[in-house]
Structure formats: structure tokens, C-alpha cells
Amino acid sequence: MLTGHDRRQLDTTLLGQRITAPLLVAPTALAGLVAHDGETKLARAASRVGIPVCISTQSVTTVETIRRGAPDATLWFQLYVWRDRALTARLLERASASGCENLIVTVDTPVSPNREYNQRNGFAIPFTPGLRSVIDMALHPRWLLGVLMRYLVSEGIPTYGHYPDAFRGAITRPSIAEAVRLEHRLNWDDMRWLRGIWPGKLIVKGVLAVRDAETAAEIGADAIVVSAHGGRNLDCLPTPAECIPAIADAVKGRLTVLADSGVRRGTDVLKYLALGADAVLLGRLPLWGLAADGERGAEAVLRMILREMDTTMAFLGADRIAALPAPFQ
């Protein structure tokens, strides 16, 4: 109370880069289905706001195309390790050549999650329309015309842009599908291998246990994301809010600690910072903005979070992130 400042500054340094606020747009597969060219729109929105955006291995649009559409954006690349390590390494070369300096390796998805709503709605890659999805699309003409039709007339049925042509074209050939299946045998040796071949910063996403955070530090990772994958993989996991304090205690100084899952308000960002995170990823929030109003909508949601953070900082008596009171620092 009574800290007597005029305005707040949210900017901070994250892994050596100055950013507008301790925020990132999280990697979200198939964001390009939410809006036509959705990944590029997210990248432009994040860039205008001044925060990084993480491009998913499973984006509709490739990292090269996103880079062309958002030349000023700070792109991070998110990797799902494929069984075929040579293909995986080639994908990383493409990410690096597209100016991604930071690599997020997601380790909390060894198999495809059991998403019954996707099965019920007939949603899968490759997409095969059924009665239910056809009716659903007919009831959403704006999406049908503005998203799906635009893909159909330009590049065909939207799919995973980074996957090799052979896989995209002949998705039913099991030998090829096997090559790009999620590697369920992933272990720390794979992380050491990635540390060896990736020239930039390495971030391990999906850590909830202190021991895993410590191992990440030992193999030379630069950061971790304390994440429950937004509750989308294993919905009975402990929450990041429960796990961050002990993890931050154990690895602060050795690792940058990022966090995500369930952030809906600026206050939620500040809660994660209070518990010990250095920055926070937003998954669904910018997607909802993108769905409602495209690039403008995504930017509006990000600016809303910045405003809410600013108000919360005022209530906390902090004029900058570094001045947040204990237990924030």
C-alpha cells in the first residue's frame, strides 16, 4: 500500500530477450482451424503486443510460411518428438532456419490422449466427415465459408503442415505413419540428444515433479514449463499452482520456470508469478480471440490480459515486475 507510483511497467527479460510482459502464446495444434491462416494471425497479434508465440509441430501452416507472414514475430518452436529421429532433426533444422531460437520440447504427451469428445464429433487427422460433423459445419456457415472453404480452394483439406508429404498424401500407409507417430519411449537420453543438436535455448514442457525439473537442469535445459497441458491429457494431475512453489525452490537460479494451464485473467498470471514462475503461457485464451474476431480478436484478448495485469499490479503496489512484493520474488 501507499507505494506512490504513477504507472506500471510489465516488461521483463526472458531467456535473454526483452518482452512486453512475462507472457507467451502457448503452442496449440491446428490453430489454423480456428481461423484461416490462424497460426500466422496469432504470430502477428503476439508480435504487435511484443510477446513470443510458440509454433506447434502440429500447426496447419508451416513455420516457414508463418515467418513470411509475420517477419517481426518472435517465434519459438514446439517439438513433438517423432519416432523417426532423422525426420525430427530435419524439422528442427527448418525451425532454426526460420529464425526460431528457443525450442520447447513437450514431454507430457507420450500417447494420444483419450478425448472422447473428439471421437464423438468425428474429429481426427486425417479428417473424415461424418453425418454429425456435416450437420455441425452446416450450422456454422461463417466457419465453413471463412475457414474450411478457403483452405479447400487454396491448398486442400487442412492437415499437419510440417508432416512429410508422403505422410500427408498417403496417411493410411502404416510404415510412414509410424515414422511420425509420437515417440512414447521418449526418455532423458532423447533430451540429451536434443540438447546436443539444438543450437538455441531448450525448454522442457510438461513438468510437474521436482525430480524431473532437477533432471532437466542437469541435462543442460534452460527452462521448464510447469504444465498440466491445460488439463487436456490427464485430467486428474495435480495443478501447476500446487507444483510451482517446490519446483521453483529447487531449480531457481539454474532454470527459468514457465507455467501454464487455466490462465483466464491477468490475476491468474500474477498468481503463477506469485508462486514462483518467471512467465506464463496462454493456450485457449488467444484461440478464443482468434475464433471471435481473427487477428484483431487475438490481439484484443492479449491486450485485455495486459490491462488486467496492470490493474492487479496497481492493487499490489508494484510499478514493475521486479518490484512485485514477496512471495513474488
Ligand X SMILES: Cc1cc2nc3c(=O)[nH]c(=O)nc-3n(C[C@H](O)[C@H](O)[C@H](O)COP(=O)(O)O)c2cc1C
Please identify which residue in 15, 19, 24, 26 interacts with ligand X, judged by CB under 6 A. 26
Contact flag: residue 317 with ligand X (CB under 6 A): no
Contact flag: residue 102 with ligand X (CB under 6 A): no
CB-nearer residue toward ligand X: 62 or 78: 78
Binding mask 208-227 for ligand X (x = CB under 6 A): -------------------x
Q: Are 58 and 29 in contact (CB under 8 A)?
A: yes
Active site residue 229: yes
Please identify which residue in 40, 62, 78, 102 interacts with ligand X, judged by CB under 6 A. 78
**Collapsing DSSP states into helix, strand and coil, what is residue 320?**
strand
Please identify which residue in 12, 40, 47, 56 interacts with ligand X, judged by CB under 6 A. 56
Contact flag: residue 263 with ligand X (CB under 6 A): yes
Give the DSSP letter string of 136-189.
Answer: HHHT-HHHIIIIIHHHHHHTSS---TTS-HHHHH-TT-HHHHHHTSB-TT--HH
Please identify which residue in 22, 27, 38, 240 interacts with ligand X, judged by CB under 6 A. 27
Contact flag: residue 230 with ligand X (CB under 6 A): yes
**Degrees (nearest 5) of the Cα angle 225, 299, 42?**
60
How far is 198 from 17, CA to CA, in rounded Å? 18
Contact flag: residue 39 with ligand X (CB under 6 A): no
- Strand residues in the chain grouped as ranges (E): 12-14, 17-19, 23-25, 53-55, 75-79, 102-106, 201-207, 223-226, 256-259, 279-282
Whose CA is closest to 222, among 13, 10, 16? 16
> What is the smallest separation between the CB atom of 239 and ligand X, expressed in angstroms?
11
- φ, ψ of residue 97 to 5 degrees: the values are -65, -20
Sign of CA dihedral 145, 149, 151, 153: negative
Cell of 67: 515467418
> What is the smallest separation between the CB atom of 53 and ligand X, expressed in angstroms?
11
Stretch that binds ligand X, among 145-153, 192-200, 207-215, 229-237 (CB under 6 A): 229-237
Stretch that binds ligand X, among 2-10, 116-124, 159-167, 281-289 (CB under 6 A): 281-289
Radius of gyration of the chain (CA): 20
Contact flag: residue 29 with ligand X (CB under 6 A): yes
- Chain residues binding ligand X by CB under 6 A are 26-29, 56, 58, 78, 106, 205, 227, 229-230, 232, 260-263, 281-284
User: What residues are labeled active site?
Assistant: 229
